[in-house]
Structure 1
Amino acid sequence: MTHQKNIVTAGVPLAQAKKALIMIHGRGASAQDIISLAGYLNVGDYALLAPQASGHTWYPYSFMAPVAQNEPGLSSAIEVINSIVDDVLKAGIPASNIYFMGFSQGACLTLEYVTRHAQPYGGVVAFTGGLIGAELNLANYHGDFGGSPVFIGSSDPDMHVPVTRVRESEAVIKKMGADITVKIYPGMGHTVSQDEVETANRLVFK
């Protein structure tokens, strides 16, 4: 499974925007679905860019499966995000004004991408996600977030994302210089809550 660069855009046109938000949808969902979340976020002056996964899934198995089982989908997905980041940089928006947001599988992919390419970003929001792999391969993670705000919200329990992996991811990302906030919601279920949206707006989309 590989992905084409198929991007849905909304918000301010990239050529005119000063900030950009890259939005990564979850398994079985679409770019249009994740863009609809923007209506709840303080991103009215951002360019919004949401790639569409082939077959509506970024990689075939759980994010906790051995990475090799999720290839070539995972590497292809990371390459698509990297290409979007390049487009945003070429449009004159610096990395410090690039933001990322994902839900579920998209949140896992978001965290994996930014931690492999850590630098001072505008901010990162992961609604229910963690870093990818049966075991975390720390050799994959490079750079320094330079105080970038990162927010992860997740349910305890969550049917797809164990809290232990959320906490493990938090430790890695914090060590790499992010200003990370994690909120675990008892019994929230596999969804995005109003409190998560408000927290994302307060900490990241200021």
Structure 2
Amino acid sequence: MHQEPFRTAGQPLATATRALIMLHGRGASAADILSLATHLHVPGFALLAPQATQGTWYPHSFLAPPAQNEPGLSDALAAVGRAVAAAEGAGLAPENIYFLGFSQGACLTLEYVARHAARYGGVVAFTGGLIGDQVQAENYAGDFAGTPVFIGTSDPDFHVPVERVRASTALLGRLGAQVTEKIYPNLGHTISQAEIDLANQLIFAQPLA
């Protein structure tokens, strides 16, 4: 699963100063999430967007027991890992690698970085939380060392309960991330201009490491 080559945009990896790994939502595509970059302050970034098989990273809700989402979940995490390896192979240090996802892609984004906590450039999760029927702290390790993270969501959201967002924020904070959590009343399952503005301000305006 998820073996398609990831799509790229922005600066070629060979000359980029930073990389942004972008993860699409359920039923969407790499091209969809790449189109969001026109609203982001990412000059000089290589944009890498893996494509989920048939548009779905894993079959069930992110709140299902993880075993129910296998092997899709492990394959999805491996697809993110291949994008990270491509960026590192081009000479980019982790502190110049960024992550962004929406909905199912936001859940996958948070799950990947929490399992591989390090000093990244920054992380943006538009409507997502850590994956599983419970947040199992023993699954996560490492030190974000102050990595800026922005999580935005709606209250309510049909797919992502606010309680899971808050639990995810707390765990990322314990791993050393500098998390900004913003909960918007009745936003709906979408990405708002206010969220994009905050992502640009908090994540993408950071000076080059």
Please indicate, yes or no, whether the TM-score normalized by the shorter chain is above 0.5: yes
Between the two proteins, the alignment pairs up a number of residues equal to 205
Which secondary structure state, in structure 1, belongs to the residue aligned with residue 204 of structure 2?
A: coil
Contact 1:29 1:56 in 2 (8 A): yes
Which secondary structure state, in structure 1, belongs to the residue aligned with residue 120 of structure 2?
A: coil
Q: Which deviations, in whole Å up to 9, do the C-alpha atoms of 1:61-88 show, x marking residues without a partner?
A: 0000000000000000001111111111
Q: Which deviations, in whole Å up to 9, do the C-alpha atoms of 1:151-191 show, x marking residues without a partner?
A: 00000000000000000000000010000000000000000
Q: TM-score scaled to structure 2, two decimals? A: 0.97
**Displacement of 1:18:** 0.8
Partner of residue 15, structure 2:
16
**Displacement of 1:17:** 0.3
Q: TM-score scaled to structure 1, two decimals? A: 0.98
Q: Which runs of 4+ in 1 moved over 2 A?
A: none
Partner of residue 101, structure 1:
100
Q: Take 2:117 and 2:95, find their aligned partners in 1: how far apart are those partners?
A: 11
Q: Take 1:129 and 1:59, find their aligned partners in 2: how far apart are those partners?
A: 14
Contact 1:129 1:152 in 2 (8 A): yes
Q: Which deviations, in whole Å up to 9, do the C-alpha atoms of 1:1-52 show, x marking residues without a partner?
A: x220421100000000010000000000000000000000001210000000
Partner of residue 31, structure 2:
32
Q: Take 2:89 and 2:44, find their aligned partners in 1: how far apart are those partners?
A: 19
**What 5-or-longer segments of structure 1 have no aligned partner?**
none
Which secondary structure state, in structure 2, belongs to the residue aligned with residue 143 of structure 1?
A: coil
RMSD, aligned α-carbons: 0.6
Task: Give the 5 Å matches for 1:82-101.
Answer: 82-101=81-100
Partner of residue 138, structure 1:
137
Partner of residue 191, structure 1:
190
Partner of residue 70, structure 2:
71
Q: Take 2:108 and 2:45, find their aligned partners in 1: how far apart are those partners?
A: 21
Structure 2: which amino acid aligns with 1:113? Y
**What 5-or-longer segments of structure 2 have no aligned partner?**
none
Q: Take 1:37 and 1:83, find their aligned partners in 2: how far apart are those partners?
A: 22
Contact 1:5 1:80 in 2 (8 A): no
Q: Take 1:89 and 1:125, find their aligned partners in 2: how far apart are those partners?
A: 20
Identity of counterpart residues, as a percentage?
A: 62
Which secondary structure state, in structure 2, belongs to the residue aligned with residue 189 of structure 1?
A: coil
